[in-house]
Amino acid sequence: MHSMNPSTVTVIVPTYEEFDSLPSLIDAIERVRDESLPKLNVIVVDDNSQDGTEELIGSLQKEWVRLLVRTQDRGLSPAVIAGLQSASGEFCVVMDADGSHPASAITAMIQALQDGADFAVGSRYINGGTTEDGWGFLRWLNSKIATLMARPFTRVLDPMSGFLALRKTTFLEASELNPVGYKIGLELIVKCQCKNVSEVPIHFSTRLLGESKLTLSVQWQYLQHVIRLLRYTRPTLVSFCSFAMVGLSGAVLYLLLLVATTAMITSVPLAIALAVWLAMTWNFIWDRKYAFWNSRQQPIYTQYIGFVLICSVGVLANFFITLALSKSEAIPLAGLIGVSIGSAVGIIFNFLMTRLIVFRK
């Protein structure tokens, strides 16, 4: 026998073509409502499936089940955000419609929040949690890799879970939500700065009806999501790594260009200068896109001139070393030594200067 919990709870169920699964899901939620959470309501957020979902919800005649139909920007994460925005409860729960998530765990998830957690997930990987057999090796591997990629952001064992609970006020504190793809739980944990995440063990069942919407493009979106989260949580590190990689590509390009320009132009200083200038411009274009992504508001000319000025130390070192060595050594070797020393001289100096002056934050 459960004791009644008077909290208001809104359960958000994102759906796309889940007509077949909805009835048993609503039944399962209703049991939880009757047994322990009388002030529970449901918002089904449907992305205009046109499969009878609207009629179905209407015919249920349950005043605590509401339908929200979205017609734009189809996607799981934006649907969840829309549901969270219109949720009226003090507590919000998000769960799949296909029966993978046991409604019976809702009570424990709300309890965890009341006991001090600022986020709760239905977890397959915490002690007591299980996953129904029949997940092919590929899906298992996929899930493992995805989970590992979330490691820099949270220690949660099942950060990929789409079964989650949080206070409405926590959601409202989220900064810069950028819902893309499926991993809305991870996005919320990071952007709401949830430190105390409680994992409630669940049995994750395989869906019985309908089909999964997890496609290859959803996985590609996850990769983009991880990069965005990295930029959000570790901007300087991402900036520096991108800068170093662009620098490396510029050095390789420089050597190739040098071989070409010295073969085509008789004046060696001019040939070197041309290669240097082209490689530097290449670096500027990619640094602007990847290393200093968040400072594109200034006019590109101003940024370019600043970039050239600041790179001048390393660039001039490279130019003169390459030129001096070209008299005794083969061009590729001279170029390699020149660009290596030039880069070493320039890299820390350049990075700090471009950061401080050109791409002013």
Instruction: Considering the complex, state which of residue 99 and residue 250 has its C-beta at the smaller distance from ligand GDD.
Output: 99
Q: Which is nearer to Mn ion, 16 or 351 (CB)?
A: 16
Residue nearest to ligand GDD (CB): 162
Residue 160, interface with ligand GDD (CB under 6 A)? yes
What is the dihedral sign for C-alpha 196, 202, 205, 210?
A: negative
* Contact track, Mn ion, 43-82, x by CB under 5 A: ----------------------------------------
Burial status of residue 296 (CB atoms within 10 A of its CB: 0-12, 13-18, 19 or more): exposed
d(CA 282, CA 337): 20
Enter the tokens of residue 68.
């929200």
Nearest alpha-carbon partner for 165 in 224, 113, 217: 113
224: which residues sit within 8 A by CB, 6+ positions away? 180, 181
Question: Site map for ligand GDD, 19-58, x if CB under 6 A?
Answer: --------------------------xxx-----------
> Minimum CB separation from Mn ion for residue 165, in Å?
18
Least separation in angstroms between residue 47's CB and ligand GDD is 4
H/E run at residue 243: helix 235-264
Q: CA 210: distance to chain centroid?
A: 27
Q: How many other CB atoms are found less than 10 A from the CB of residue 324?
A: 13
Q: How far is the CB of 101 from Mn ion (least distance, A)?
A: 9
> 200 - beta bridge partners?
122
Q: Using the rule CB under 5 A, is 100 a contact of Mn ion?
A: yes
Question: Which residues from 180-209 bind Mn ion, rule CB under 5 A?
Answer: 207
- State the CB neighbour count (10 A cutoff) for residue 142: 16
What's the gap between Cα 199 and its chain centre? 21
Using CB under 6 A as the binding rule, the residues of this chain from 103 to 122 that contact ligand GDD are none
User: Does the footprint of ligand GDD cover residue 14 (CB under 6 A)?
Assistant: yes
Residue 173 CB, shortest distance to Mn ion, in Å, is 29
Sites of contact with Mn ion (CB under 5 A): 98, 100, 207
Sites of contact with ligand GDD (CB under 6 A): 14-16, 18, 45-47, 74-76, 79, 96-98, 100, 143, 160, 162, 182, 207, 212-214
